[in-house]
Copies of this chain bind each other. A is one copy, B any other.
Amino acid sequence: MTTNGEATGQRMYRLIRKLYPICRSITGNGFRKSLRILQDRLELTMQEVPSGTKVFDWTVPKEWNIRDAYVQNARGERIIDFQRSNLHVVSYSIPIKRKIPLRELKEHLHTLPEHPDWIPYRTSYYTEDWGFCLPHRQFLDLDEGEYEVSIDASLEDGHLTYGEYYLPGESPHEVLISCHSCHPSLCNDNLSAMSAAVELAEYLSQSPRRFSYRFLFIPGTIGSITWLALNEATVPNIKHGLLLSCLGDAGSSTYKLSRRGDALIDRAAKNVLEHAGESFTILEFVPYGYDERQFCSPGFDLPLGCLMRTPNGKYPEYHSSADDLDLVQPDALADSFEKCVRIINVLEQDGYFINLNPKCEPQLGKRGIYRGLRGQGDLPNRELALLWVLNLSDGKHTLLDIAERAHMAFDTIHDAAQTLTKHDLLRRADQVEHG
């Protein structure tokens, strides 16, 4: 697997730039408009679920759409203006048009005192309320007096929308790739992951596939709950899952383990990060974070982990206007994409192999694939991998098992297996699929 990193990163970044200005929320036209942009690249189906639909313990909420919003001072100046940044309005704010004194206004204002120039991102999905977000510096300068607040929004019965893209493979067994797509103008969280998912779907559509792949572009929490509620019959097909988020910042890669902790996806991600030659972090599962909360709930317990760079809440720009087009960079995006591909390669390529010459080593030298040591120094990794694959291909170890025991990259072990197979020293076990 080689990917053209630079072109990939640029293409991902361009998609982010296109999606950035749109005001998304967990429902509404912004979400739809974003999916339509993705449809330029993928044959995405757009699903509409009516407000009021019962989904397990939850109910699909009313649809929220906003046209304009501002706060105007006594001199008629729009001092806070939705047109300048969609973060200025608390998401799901109810419509309002009133004059109120500063004191009352302040109860509806949100700032980040520790970052006085940034606008925070706030929501009020499940409590009817309204509010504005603004830089703390501006907040401190507000004059006494009356202000006109106007939120030209609607909160009415409508639909929850999500995007789904299914890519059939040899087997009906699926890999689920999901990313929350409900945040407004925030780049790392989570336009970065949306662009990675699109890139990955396009890439996989052009590759041979053992597994089928299902991509979800959904609103956080309510989206995964809705999807699971409406697609319970599909769930047993999901054998592996990867949640994507925050994939464009400059931090190193992070993988959060599934609830199971030792699922194949967990071990695949670990192997890829361990052998990428960079620092990385493996996080224990915690039932808090993104939609792994739902996918890994005990009634489903899907083997699904989460690939990130700096995790949510751990970078200062998180959920603020500073999560912008500068925070994400093409090279980081390309690197995250490459890691997704490598993880998926492990899923695709792992399996049991049988050493056809299990008694003693075969004579690799006469086949020209092994020079061994001449003089001192260590055996090249490539040759050591041949020995490991031969030694452990007894029908009880998968390639990933071997890679783990040999402390080697899966790719190196897989390449060795390919070489040995070509020389009739190894064959894939009949057992068709892992997991």
Contacts and interface: CB of A to CB of B under 8 A. Distances in A.
A399 to B, nearest CB: 15
Given A288-B379, A319-B376, A375-B319, A56 B357 contact: yes
A122 B375 CA distance: 7
Interface stretch (A35-43, A77-85, A241-249, A292-300): A292-300
A110 B375 CA distance: 9
Interface stretch (A5-13, A15-23, A382-390): A382-390
A183 interface: no
A220 to B, nearest CB: 12
B126 A293 contact: no
Contacts of A390: 287, 297-298
B287 A126 contact: no
A435 interface: no
A288 B373 CA distance: 10
A358 B298 contact: yes
User: Which of A221, A318, A355, A376: most chain B CB closer than 10 A?
Assistant: A376
A122 B297 CA distance: 61
Nearest to A406: B286
Interface in A198-235: 221, 224-225, 228-229, 232
Given A57-B360, A359-B299, A287 B391 contact: yes
A300 B376 contact: no
A240 interface: no
Given A376-B319, A379-B288, A360 B58 contact: yes
Contacts of A299: 355, 358-360
Contacts of A56: 357, 359-360, 362
Interface residues of A, number: 57
Nearest to A355: B298
A43 to B, nearest CB: 28
Nearest to A259: B391
A160 interface: no
A384 B126 contact: no
A259 to B, nearest CB: 7
A145 interface: no
A276 to B, nearest CB: 23
A391 B297 contact: yes
B224 A122 contact: no
Contacts of A122: 374-375
A126 B372 CA distance: 12
Contacts of A362: 56-57
Contacts of A377: 313
A430 interface: no
A360 B302 CA distance: 11
B387 A293 contact: yes
Contacts of A318: 376
A301 B355 CA distance: 13
28 contacts: A56-B357, A56-B359, A56-B362, A57-B360, A58-B360, A122-B374, A126-B363, A126-B366, A224-B360, A225-B360, A228-B360, A229-B359, A232-B359, A286-B384, A286-B406, A287-B384, A288-B384, A288-B387, A293-B387, A297-B361, A297-B390, A298-B355, A298-B358, A298-B390, A298-B394, A299-B355, A300-B360, A313-B376
Interface of A: 55-58, 110, 112, 120, 122, 126-127, 221, 224-225, 228-229, 232, 259, 286-288, 293-294, 296-301, 313, 318-319, 355, 357-363, 365-366, 373-379, 384, 387-388, 390-394, 406
Nearest 6 CB-CB pairs, A to B? A299-B358, A299-B359, A287-B391, A298-B394, A57-B362, A287-B387
